[in-house]
Amino acid sequence: MITFPDSTLVGKPVPKTAFYRNLEVNAKMKQRFVDNVESITWTAKLAPSTLSVTDGKTVHEITVFRMVLKKEEVPSDVLMLIDKQMPRHTVFVLQHEGKCCLYVNYKEWHDAEQRQFDIVKTYQTAWVKEADIVLNIEGSTMDAVFSSFVRQIAEGLLDANTTDLHTAVMANKEREQIQKNINILEQQMLKEKQPKKRFEIHQRLVKMKAKLNQ
């Protein structure tokens, strides 16, 4: 079970409409909120004012939302809509019938003035019993705290030997793209009848797999 310091706790219910009433959101997206989300609670505010940490260069505050879902299906489009609006970093604790998972968008500032984010990569834990979900606050700066959160939620997908989070995330994205290319080539090999073309595809596969294992 996740426990944050009392100094960080907010416990404020947030109406679902608060995330789209002032936006040009189509009826389909509004229905996604209705169909998938039971309730949203602003659980915690993690910041230098609530934790014994110093401000970060890129991370200044982390908002933790607890979202009760109507089914065990992560509405990524809904979470993306919420997170794109937030002028701070965000972590979601998703709950459904006694199970929980953690969800985070690794995002970076789009501009030097830090007015708008670009979402770079999304990470989500497996669904587990609510009592077994864990998220530890680690680090002496807000940058370090958020980096730790992303690594915990990524569950081993990020290279632990790469200390810079941006570098680790981009390497993870590259590996995923290489794996997608491998899958495509393997499907092409199964369908290809001409020996010469099959050999060419095989050679490309060998190079791709070698790159993946570097």
Residue 207 pLDDT greater than 90, yes or no: no
How many CB atoms neighbour CB 201 within 10 A?
19
Residue ranges in the chain assigned as alpha helix (H): 27-36, 76-85, 142-154, 165-191, 195-212
pLDDT at residue number 17 = 84
Q: What is the rounded CA–CA span in Å between residue 37 and residue 39?
A: 6
Diameter of the chain measured on Cα atoms: 67
pLDDT tens column, 148-192:
999 999 998 999 899 999 999 999 999 999 999 999 988 988 888
Beta bridge partners of 99: 96, 129
Secondary structure letter of residue 127 according to DSSP? P
More confident residue, 206 or 62: 62
What pTM, to 2 d.p., does this model score? 0.88
Q: Both ends of the chain: CA-CA distance in Å?
A: 37
**Beta-strand relationship, 89-96 and 62-69:** parallel
Cβ partners under 8 Å of residue 156, min gap 6? none
pLDDT tens column, 40-81:
999 999 999 999 999 999 999 999 999 999 998 898 999 998
Secondary structure letter of residue 56 according to DSSP? P
Cβ atoms of 70 and 37 closer than 8 Å = yes
Work out the mean pLDDT of the chain and round it to a whole number. Answer: 91
pLDDT at residue number 23 = 65
Residue 18 pLDDT greater than 90, yes or no: no
Cβ atoms of 109 and 143 closer than 8 Å = no
